[in-house]
A and B are shown apart, each in its own frame.
Chain A
Amino acid sequence: MKLAIASLFIGLASAWSPANDASSSRREAISKTLAAGAALASPLVSNAYSVPDLPYPYEALEPYIDTPTMKIHHDKHHATYVANINKAMEGKEEVPILDLMENALDAGPVRNNGGGHYNHAFFWSEMAPPDVAKKTKPSDALAKMIDSSFGSMDEMKSQFEAAAAPGAVFGSGWVWVVLNNAGTKLEIVGTPNQDNPLMKGVKDEIKFPILGLDVWEHAYYLKYQNRRPEYVSNWWNVVNWDKVSENFAYVSEKKSGVPVEG
């Protein structure tokens, strides 16, 4: 901290040195100094990861997901995973959060907090306000794959809801629609805690999520309490199928997980 203050003084003083006689370069010198001072003042933690902004206001998913839940879920729960993964990755090479997923099972903090960060970033991006969501639909390619994998969209939703039922994922976890490793069909899988199917060892093979639902109690308890099935069946109203179709196109082509913001 003292170093930061000292460098600020020196830097600011130099802004008035004869070498900087034009005021614009003085302004530049000052802002550079302040930036350098700030960097020195902040603790040496890798801030590689950050909570991405929601692509819609907190209240946008009402009445299906309530505003207080969106606030706490995004600003507190997701933020905690980000803070913890930053701590865990201090001093390590900065890589996109997606890249940490494959070997996440090697390290507890990465599995829980890296997984938590990825899963939530993925989650926010696939939802939209109900009036927007209802105008979206699966692409032709996705619709075809849904039909060949499940029979129909209704059948897929029904299987998804069964997988999300209390007791099916047991305690806390997520339910996903994934593309299998060979890229030949879609499947529905549940994962516990903050695991996801991109992590080697979680399922029999790495699978690529195109759609996921948080069924941790914090995701729905304020509005639905124990009524998880109601939360799940209401959730379809805020699914952005255009984004899900993009996810499908991406994973089909790249055989990799969808990158996320933050």
Chain B
Amino acid sequence: MSGKKVIFDTALRASVNLQSSKLPSELTKSSTALFSALSGVKATLPDLPYDYNALEPAISAQIMELHHTKHHQTYITNLNAAMEKMDSAMINGDVSAVIALQGALKFNGGGHINHTLFWENLSPNSDYNEGGTLDKALKERFGSKDGFISELTATSLAIQGSGWGWLVYNPKTKMVDIAACPNQDPVEATTGLKPLLGIDMWEHAFYLDYKNVKPDYVKAIWDVINWDTVEARLEAAK
């Protein structure tokens, strides 16, 4: 082994000269400890900002609990496992293994990102700020809030199989827009568009309450949107 090791933590890179021959000997001795810290903090399940039953009757407590403690948690568990494997692959310079892990990272990492965004853009309190930044942006692009709701509803219902419907901010056009992504593809990483509001169209998101009647689920979810969060995301994205 030439001693060349790739260092990912930027702070560490700054404090330790990139030339591996200049690595302090104490560090190379404790390299296992060093590299196990490089993947950073492990992903953990965020608490919901409301009780499981808070979004009823739009979304039942049963679904919220399963969705949060089982589905989202599984993405996190599998993401952490994939990240660990990624660390070893990177450390060993195993390009083939790095590439092979991309699918698992996109799926589970995307699942974690999407669900984290989702919990935050739902709320029992769906107050809407008339005339605010979001309202203006929606009117500019869709003519009205209802026009927007109509379009995102249609896009979400048209998704074949599993996926998400999104209100996004397009940094190129400087306008809001609608996007749909398949499976757990994270919208920003795969399209460059910034997510503002997500609707989970995977069957697990609604099946126990609505069975095959997707339109009823999407209609009901508009009652529990956290418009304040959506507006804050838009302001941050601009």
Q: Does B136 lie at the interface of the complex (its beta carbon under 8 Å from any beta carbon of A)?
A: no
Give per-residue flags for A53-77: 1 if the beta carbon is below 8 A from chain B beta carbons, else 0. Answer: 0000000000000000000100011
Q: Which of A114-132 contact B (CB under 8 A)?
A: none
- By the criterion CB–CB under 8 Å, are A170 and B207 in contact? no
Decide yes or no whether B100 CB sits under 8 A from chain A. Answer: no
B160 within 8 A of A: yes
- A203-244 residues at the B interface, CB under 8 angstroms: 216-218, 221-222, 225-226
Residues on B with beta carbons closer than 8 Å to the beta carbon of A139 = none
Instruction: Kindly list chain B residues whose C-beta atoms are within 8 Å of the C-beta of A80.
Output: 212
From known contacts A166-B74, A171-B162, A226-B70, infer whether A218 and B104 are also in contact, taking CB-CB under 8 Å: no
Write the chain A residue with the least CB distance to B69. Answer: A226
Across the interface, do B202 and A72 meet the contact criterion of CB distance under 8 Å? no
**Within the assembled complex, what's the spacing in Å between the Cα atoms of A80 and B162?**
17
Interface size on B, residues (CB 8 A): 22
Q: Are B74 and A76 in contact (CB under 8 A)?
A: no
* A172 at interface, CB cutoff 8 A: yes
Chain B neighbourhood of A225, CB < 8 A? 66, 70, 204, 208
A171 lies within 8 A of B202 (CB) = yes
A228 to chain B minimum Cβ distance, whole angstroms, is 10
Other-chain contact of A72, B78, B108, B184, B211 (Cβ < 8 Å):
B211
List chain B residues, Cβ under 8 A from A149. none
Which residues of A sit under 8 angstroms from B212, Cβ to Cβ? 72, 76-77, 80, 218
B124 contacts chain A at the CB level, 8 A cutoff? no
Q: How far is the CB of B113 from chain A (nearest CB, A)?
A: 16
Interchain nearest-CB distance for A154 vs B (Å): 26
**For residue A111, which residue of chain B has the nearest CB?**
B160
Contact assessment for A112 and B160 in the assembled complex, using a CB-CB cutoff below 8 Å: yes
Chain A residues with CB under 8 Å of B5's CB are none
Given known contacts A192-B161, A216-B161, what 9 new A-B pairs fall within 8 Å (CB)? A76-B212, A80-B212, A167-B104, A171-B202, A173-B161, A193-B160, A216-B203, A217-B207, A225-B66
